[in-house]
Structure 1
Amino acid sequence: MAVSASAPIAAGTRIGHVHLKVADIDRALDFYCDVLGFELVQKLGNQAAFISAGGYHHHIGLNTWESAGGQPPPPGTTGLYHLAILYPTRADLADALKRLIAHGIPLDGASDHGVSEALYLRDPDDNGVELYCDRPQDQWPRNKDGSLGMFTRRLDLEDLLRQAKS
């Protein structure tokens, strides 16, 4: 029996992990583990590493199989726009911002989208990274017809930092 192309994907489907091509495993681990706080699960020499939050087998895979010593793709080419890391609470996102500040990592932007608050930055291989937290669904902005009313406004970073736990 064929499944209709218009049938929606199962509601419980999630993105399990992302694999990134990087130029240098140790440099990537310094960023994702030391700066962002992911935990190293497994490292395969200088070819690959698997990192996670909370003991999962891996949320992010890093590899140099096709990219050791390589350069980021030039602007105007296809590829990954950014990977998005969802934090469970606003306080956790605030802690992530404190980590970025402590390590001197600049932001490309910071936005309030109504449904979420997000920080945008680049990893050492120039991959886009979004760090964000969702608002509860009952607080999401809606248009008069009931459809989602997302927007992009400046995120108040000082207010976010006041939410930090540590």
Structure 2
Amino acid sequence: MTLKHLNLPVGDIERSLDFYVRKLGFAYVRHLNERKVILNVGGFDFFLEEAPPLAVHPKFHFGVETSAEGVHAFARKLESLGVPQVVGPQPTGRAETYVTPDGVRTVLYFADPDEHVIEVYSHIGVDVGYVVPGWGA
């Protein structure tokens, strides 16, 4: 089994298409119809589907992995585009590029026009949390 795509509901397909393609650099693939578009990022199909009225759950987000320098470069790109960072689960409670005290994880969060939160990170932090017996790898 292979995970191949994500279908993201959006309030306005043209506004979201502009954001994801022109600002974030996702590759346009094709329209499936007037309200649904396929994009591609890093070999992953990313569908945008206009579906108002839209209700975004505050816990929903998706992440894009890169290097630590890649996170800092992305922060500079967001700043140049006028896209503000938002508060994520970093312990500072601030909208900022956060580096863990051990220097292993660098992360930032920002939102798309519909307030879907996007995480850009350098390391997932697999050494945190716990494994429930019977469910672990």
Structures share a fold, TM > 0.5? Answer: yes
Tell me how far 1:25 sits from its aligned partner: 1.2
Structure 1 gaps, min length 5: 1-12, 141-146, 151-166
Q: Which residue of 2 aligns with 1:131?
A: 120
Deviations 1:107-147 (A, max 9, x none): 01332245421111111011111111228xxxx7xxxxxx9
Q: Which residue of 1 aligns with 2:132?
A: none
Mark the structure with the bigger radius of gyration.
1
Relative to 1, partners in 2 of residues 1:28 and 1:80: Cα closer, same or farther, differing over 3 Å?
A: farther
Instruction: Calculate percent identity across the aligned residue pairs.
Output: 25
Report which of the two has the higher share of strand. 2
Task: Say which of 95, 107, 110 aligns to 1:118.
Answer: 107
Q: Which residue of 2 aligns with 1:42?
A: 30
Structure 2 gaps, min length 5: 87-94, 130-137
Residue-pair matches, total:
118
| Superposition pairs of residues 16-165 of structure 1, within 5 angstroms | 16-54=4-42, 56=43, 58=45, 60-64=46-50, 67-68=51-52, 70-73=53-56, 78=57, 81-87=60-66, 89-108=67-86, 109=95, 110-113=97-100, 115-134=104-123, 148-149=127-128
**Distance in structure 1 (CA, Å) of the matches to 2:22 and 2:8:** 17
